[in-house]
Amino acid sequence: MLEFWICALALIITVANVINMRVVRLNGAASVFESVDILIPMRNEEANVEACLKAVLNSELLESSKVYVLDDASEDQTSDLISSFKVHKLQGSALPAGWLGKNWACYNLAKSSNGDFLVFLDADVRLHPYAISSALTKMNALNWDYISPYPKQLAGTFIEKLIQPLLQWSWLASVPLRIAEKYPNRSMTIANGQFLIIKRSAYEQIGGHSAIANEVLDDLEIARLLIASGFKGGVADGSSVASCRMYKTSEELINGYTKSLWKAFGGTTGTIAALILLVMTGVIPYLGFGAPALFIFLSRVLAAIKTKSNPGYALLHPIAILVLLYLIVLSSVRKSRGTLQWRGRVIS
């Protein structure tokens, strides 16, 4: 009976979010007259440099913008490729103790720039020319201090198609976004560092990335600090203006998820609770194929349609959950053994 009500609640929240979620639309773009700095950290990104920077440099309706790209000790052709574009190129410095690589790179990018708005962007994100201007237009209309337009998540391999849709579904089915906006708190804060825009004044007031130097979930922690400090903001559907393919191989996906899943639920107790909840909603209901399974299936389909992914993979939800359970356990095991790495660096 408990599974029935949990799964029903997940469907209700999903329906509410699909209807009410903030959306960054192409036709909502207007000229942005404030200064905008686009900040892109890159480490061994030779496969992404050209497509990423071409898209960014084609941004429109930004009256005063600069692009800063930091080469974070790349061991491939990233540095040379960055140099072929008209951007402000920064060379990453040695990683200090107590810092994770991306956080240190973002800190230095922000410190080197001076725009009114900071646009943090991952190298694997592809922006429409109106992506930044439309996101800033929405952000200003809502009187927000930050906005996280969630890109469309692209998937190529089978494991990507299983796991990637769970990214959006997990919060679309569990966090009532409009309630989170009205009554902001840490547990209901959602953000995605792939494409994240913050007012510089707010960023500096919370201490920027220096306040989360060793946090593996940097995007969430930045957003949580902003909310805790009284600033306003939230996630929005950015699937019309941005896309991202996070991983190209199964090995990349496994390493990418295990680097942070150990921290995703707050600690050991939270992780155990998350494992139990995932089994209750993603495995047990499918053993009987009753109403709870139908509720979760419908929530997956609605989330997929909203975020422009393939709803057909909702049929494989229990398999996706089993893979996710494996990744959570593997992440915790690797963390306990001190073997977590990302892009050649140990995550302590």
What are the distances in angstroms from CA 113 to CA 4, 40, 48, 94, 272? 51, 12, 23, 20, 42
CA–CA dist 96, 72 (Å, integer)? 13
Among 179, 197, 210, 268, smallest CA distance to 238 is for: 197
Helices 101-112 and 218-228, packing angle to 10 deg: 60
Instruction: Write out the two tokens for 105.
Output: 């790179």
What one-character-per-residue DSSP string does 188-204 give? G----TTEEEEEHHHHH
- pLDDT tens by residue, 270-322: 889 899 999 988 998 998 878 999 999 999 999 999 999 999 999 999 999 99
* pLDDT, position 268: 84
- For residue 6, give both structure tokens: 């949990």
- Separation of alpha carbons 257 and 281, rounded Å: 21
Asked if 10 and 173 touch (Cβ cutoff 8 Å), the reply is yes
| Tokens read off for 293 | 């399974």
**Residue 189 pLDDT class (50, 70, 90 cuts):** very high
Round the average pLDDT of the chain to a whole number and report it: 95
pLDDT digits (tens, 9 = 90+) for 229-238: 999 999 999 9
Residue 348 confidence (pLDDT) above 80: no
DSSP summary character for residue 208: G
Domains of the chain: 2-19+250-342 (no CATH), 21-244 (3.90.550.10)
The whole-number pLDDT of residue 345 equals 84
pLDDT tens for 85-94 read 999 999 999 9
pLDDT number for residue 343: 81
Instruction: Round to whole Å and give the CA distance between 322 and 324.
Output: 5
Q: Is 143 left (phi over 0), alpha (psi -120 to 50) or beta?
A: left
- DSSP-assigned letter for residue 85: S
